[in-house]
Amino acid sequence: MLNIALPKGRLGETVYDLFERAGFDCPSIREKSRKLIFENEKTGVRFFWVKPSDVPIYVERGAADIGVAGKDIILEYDPDVYELLDLKLGKCRMAVAAKKDFHDENVKTLRVATKFPNIASSYYERIGRDIDIIKLNGSIELAPILGLSDVIVDIVETGTTLRENDLEVKAEILPISARLIANKSSFRFADKEIGRIADKMKELVTLND
């Protein structure tokens, strides 16, 4: 059995569709239930739903042989795994955003609210700007509105959350998409099985591109 960690939520459903189209289906996963693990002996796969930011932990520690995680999560946690393939799904961007009338005068330390302190720190280090990180766990857009921070570093997908809260993108940091990742020793010992899945998915991704 190959253990596969899928990110719970909308991205996970799309990612499972891709596994199914690649021939690694597991019909029980489609049934409405609160179950977290699903397996199909015929195709030799066992899927489990994991909180998206936990996928790299499962894969790094070998509880999952492979998994799917956003590039944002991979950059933030820097897990010791192989990144096999860009699935070109869940596309969005990491950006700096702030209130429309905010201009960084570069006179005092910039207060940055974010769920991604490592990505934010390395971005500002690269451009040589002093910052104070305020680590939050969600609803990041509130921070500049309430004066908790000057800017935010966050994911922008459709831009709706920013728009509806009168914020705007001030700088793009990097494009994000979902990646297929593998545990390093699983990749050595189950290279055929993992290779088969990765190759088939690559074909489908290229067709869609």
Residue range at the interface with ligand PRP (CB under 6 A); choices 79-87, 155-163, 166-174, 201-209? 155-163
User: Of 96, 51, 89, which is closest to residue 71 (Cα–Cα)?
Assistant: 89
Task: Rule CB under 6 A: say whether 157 interacts with ligand PRP.
Answer: yes
Query: Minimum distance between the CB of residue 134 and ligand PRP, rounded to whole angstroms?
Result: 14
Per-residue buried b or exposed e for 7-45, using 16+ beta carbons within 10 Å of the residue's own CB: bbeebbeebbebbeebebbbeebeeeeeeeebbbeebeb
The 3-state DSSP class for residue 55 equals helix
Interacting stretch for ligand PRP, rule CB under 6 A, among 21-29, 65-73, 154-162, 170-178?
A: 154-162
Based on the shown chain and the rule CB under 6 A, indicate whether residue 158 belongs to the binding site for ligand PRP.
yes
- Give the whole-angstrom CA distance, residue 19 versus residue 26: 9
DSSP H stretches of helix in 41-115? 55-60, 71-77
What is the β-pairing status of strands 82-86 and 178-182? Answer: antiparallel
Q: Which stretch binds ligand PRP (CB under 6 A): 24-32, 62-70, 151-159, 179-187?
A: 151-159
Nearer to ligand PRP, 107 or 146 (CB): 146
**Sole window of 122-130, 152-160, 174-182, 189-197 interacting with ligand PRP (rule: CB under 6 A):** 152-160
Q: 201: closest CA among 18, 17, 11?
A: 18
Q: Binding string, 125-144, against ligand PRP, x = CB under 6 A? A: -------------xxxx---
Indicate whether 172 belongs to the interface with ligand PRP (CB under 6 A).
no
Query: For ligand PRP, which is the closer residue by CB, 156 or 201?
Result: 156
Query: Under a CB-based contact definition with an 8 Å cutoff, are residues 133 and 120 in contact?
Result: yes
160 lies in the binding site for ligand PRP (CB under 6 A) = yes
DSSP 52: G
Site for ligand PRP in 68-97 (CB under 6 A): none
**Interacting residues with ligand PRP (CB under 6 A):** 138-141, 154-161
